[in-house]
Amino acid sequence: MREADTAVQSADDHVHSVHRKLDFRWSTLVILLVAAAASIVLLTTLVTPQERDIGLLVGGWDFHVYRGGGRYVLNDLPLYTKPLDCCTPLLYTYTPFSALVFVPFVWLPDDADQHIWLAINVVLLIACVMLCFRILGYRITPYLAGISALLAIACGFLEPVRTTLFYGQINLLLMLMVLWDASRPEGSRLKGIGIGLAAGIKITPAYFVLYYLLLRQWRAAGVAVATLAATIGLGWLVLPRDSWQYWGGKFLDSSRISNWVFDPANQSLRGAIARLTKEMPATWLWVLADACLVAISMWIAVRLYRHGEPLLAVSVAGLSATAASPFTWTHHWVWLVPMTVYLVHRAVANARWWVAVVPLFAVMGSWSVLLPNDHQQRIGLYLFQRTGVPWQVLLNLHLAVYAALLIIAGLIASGRVGRTRRGSAPP
């Protein structure tokens, strides 16, 4: 037990000894410049930004749901009885507290609201990449900020990120809260607040409370739970009717997200079981499968953290929370961004790691195709057909990529693949 505790403390000290400076390297700069430029070209040519229904600048449907939630709060209307926006049939699926958070969206100008939110999301993406480097032990410098911006732009081509930007989703803000929390030292009084607030907006980040408990970070777990409880309490205080409806059972109803578990856009483990068996999985089956996934992935994440791989550990936890969710849209897989930062960090030190980075972008990129009988392009390889790849592999592509990444993380955790050297920057 003492050895384990010492290992955890050693890892935590390593995470927060942010004294390293990311050295300037022409090779790194050129690679990321090319990657960012390629991302911009692909994002603006494969599907033009103004293309009807699928262009990057004409979406914002989920953002309008958030804005509708804020508007309903101001007008004292019920949140959970009908769609909040006349433009979409989407129901409000977030917590009552989240609607309070979304109130400022109401005050954005109508003709520019979704574009303002798109710009904010781009800034959030860059901030997430910067926090990843901070977790790796680097100081925030102008050069690191520039590298982060280039890598973030490159990540914009990843299908989950592009889809998040298109729909105006909240995923990047929630991930930023979790990453900020993970970047705090264990003794910080603020550690846990970020996860508690994120879980107060959307329940899924509460998964990280389990992560903290398994790391024996009792204070952080307690603060996260207390913060979540405070958000629930505030929701009850301001919106008692909606809170009664939501916490009385609607938060457990995944059909409010979608009734079609077989939807290829549902890249959860439950969805994969449904597609592979061609029938609705029994509750006990997918819960058991989720439990096995959580047990394996958490063992890997904890072991990684204890051996000085905090960014990889939190990335594994984030990806696993996404896979284990009862319903997971493809845009929820934005946790591929921290994983990408980790892989690029390793590739800078050892060129062989580009073998992992390049295929990740190739497989998870926002490639488009127009199939016969389709009236518009499909975005993402998981929607492609007649490619020579087994259809069931494509249908469950995000989970297949997750499984491959989990194997890599497991090999690092077991010591079969070299870990990042603690206290040293890449050569």
321-353 pLDDT tens trace: 999 998 899 999 999 999 999 999 999 888 899
Sign (positive or negative) of CA dihedral 117, 123, 196, 234:
negative
- For residue 107 the two structure tokens come to 């005050």
Cα–chain center distance at 343: 16
Specify the DSSP class assigned to residue 208. H
- In the structure, what pLDDT confidence band is assigned to residue 255 with cuts at 50, 70 and 90? low
More confident residue, 417 or 30: 30
Specify the DSSP class assigned to residue 266. B
pLDDT score of 85:
62
pLDDT score of 426:
39
The percent of residues above 70 in pLDDT, for the chain, comes to: 88
User: Does residue 150 have a pLDDT over 70?
Assistant: yes
Predicted TM-score (pTM) of the model is 0.91
Cβ–Cβ under 8 Å, residues 133 and 426:
no
User: Does residue 219 have a pLDDT over 80?
Assistant: yes
Cα(290)–Cα(282) distance, integer angstroms: 13
pLDDT score of 53:
84
H helical segments located in 159-279: 159-167, 171-183, 193-201, 207-214, 218-238, 240-247, 269-277
Cβ–Cβ under 8 Å, residues 370 and 280:
no
pLDDT score of 6:
43
**Residue 76 backbone class (left: φ over 0; alpha: ψ -120 to 50; beta: rest):** left
Q: What is the mean pLDDT of residues 29-56?
A: 94
* Phi, psi angle pair for 119, to nearest 5°: -65, -40
User: Does residue 187 have a pLDDT over 90?
Assistant: no
**Chain-wide mean pLDDT for the chain?**
88
β-strand pairing of 378-379 with 368-369: antiparallel
pLDDT score of 1:
36
3-class secondary structure, 365? strand
More confident residue, 87 or 14: 87
pLDDT score of 27:
87
- In the structure, what pLDDT confidence band is assigned to residue 143 with cuts at 50, 70 and 90? very high
3-class secondary structure, 238? helix
pLDDT score of 397:
94
User: Does residue 15 have a pLDDT over 80?
Assistant: no
pLDDT score of 329:
93
pLDDT score of 215:
96
- In the structure, what pLDDT confidence band is assigned to residue 371 with cuts at 50, 70 and 90? confident
Cα(190)–Cα(179) distance, integer angstroms: 13
Task: Summarize pLDDT for 159-184 with one digit per residue, the tens.
Answer: 999 999 999 999 999 999 999 999 99
* Helices vs. strands in the chain: H and E counts, helices first: 19, 2
pLDDT score of 90:
77
pLDDT score of 3:
38
User: Does residue 409 have a pLDDT over 70?
Assistant: yes
**Nearest-5° Cα angle at 73, 70 to 77:** 120
User: Does residue 256 have a pLDDT over 70?
Assistant: no
Cβ–Cβ under 8 Å, residues 120 and 328:
no
User: Does residue 359 have a pLDDT over 90?
Assistant: yes
Cα(345)–Cα(357) distance, integer angstroms: 10
Q: What is the mean pLDDT of residues 353-367?
A: 95
- In the structure, what pLDDT confidence band is assigned to residue 291 with cuts at 50, 70 and 90? very high
pLDDT score of 248:
83
Cα–chain center distance at 22: 25
Cα(268)–Cα(324) distance, integer angstroms: 6
pLDDT score of 389:
60
Task: Summarize pLDDT for 86-116 with one digit per residue, the tens.
Answer: 556 778 889 999 999 999 999 999 889 999 9
